[in-house]
Amino acid sequence: GYDWEFCQIMYNYLDQKFQAGRKGLKYAADKGLGVIIMEPLRGGQLATELPSEVEQVFDGAEVKREPVEWGLLWLWNQPEVSVVLSGMSTLDQVKQNVEIADRSEVDKLDEDELEIVERAREKYRDLLAVGCTGCNYCMPCPNGVKITRVFDLYNRAEIYHEYEENKENYYDLDEEHRASSCVACGQCEKACPQNLPIIELMEEVTEYFDDKKPKAVRNEG
């Protein structure tokens, strides 16, 4: 065999404890590995889909930046990060990413700015109904439940305060794809890297969209 030269992990300011996370980043760097970051903006959620409560946190910063800049600079601020894989679909996004990269450097963010990011993270976590990252390790469900889609609708209803819209989207799913079709086989829970109580959460989602109930927050990240 050969010695490893680099590794790739999912890492962003929201998911600091997911999978390898911050501890894995430091461990790999201490071993001399280059570390490649994927999902730096969580599939765009940290760039263009921020809840208003999180935007308000960033708006309170002395230095004004776009959400995408906060997310990327937070990563490049850390000396252990070697490469950041940022998905881009337009030329403007390419230019924006390049400009941010040119301005980035280790320790660019001061303590006050790092505190801003931490407050934004905490606010986002408070809004999440389920700490699902959408990794799809739980899929496919043998009974047809679209687990990550169901959780996404649940989170969107809570994060963006759009219950009726997401309830409608939930019932647009075929019945077999809804949370109520869960038979508690447990296959998904064995595969979930977050160790989410998916069976229990399926019951919660069913009740939530049937008749809105208070959420039970389960976020450990």
Averages of pLDDT over each 10 residues, the chain, 221 residues: 87 88 94 94 86 94 94 97 92 94 95 97 93 89 97 94 94 96 97 92 95 49 47
- Torsion, Cα 53 136 41 80, to 10 degrees, reads 120
User: Which pLDDT belongs to residue 212?
Assistant: 57
The two tokens of residue 88 are 């881009």
Query: Judging by DSSP bridges, how do beta strands 6-10 and 83-84 pair with one another?
Result: unpaired
pTM above 0.85, yes or no: no
User: Which pLDDT belongs to residue 14?
Assistant: 92
The two tokens of residue 125 are 């976590």
Contacts of 126 (CB under 8 A, 6+ apart): 217, 219
- H-type helices in 44-83, by residue range? 52-59, 67-76
DSSP secondary structure string, 101-119? HHH--TT-S-HHHHHHHHH
**Whether residues 213 and 139 fall in one domain:** yes
In a domain, 47, yes or no: yes
Is residue 29 within 8 A of residue 80, CB to CB? The reply is: yes
What is the residue range of 90's domain?
6-127
**Whether residues 141 and 153 fall in one domain:** yes
Structural domains counted in the chain: 2
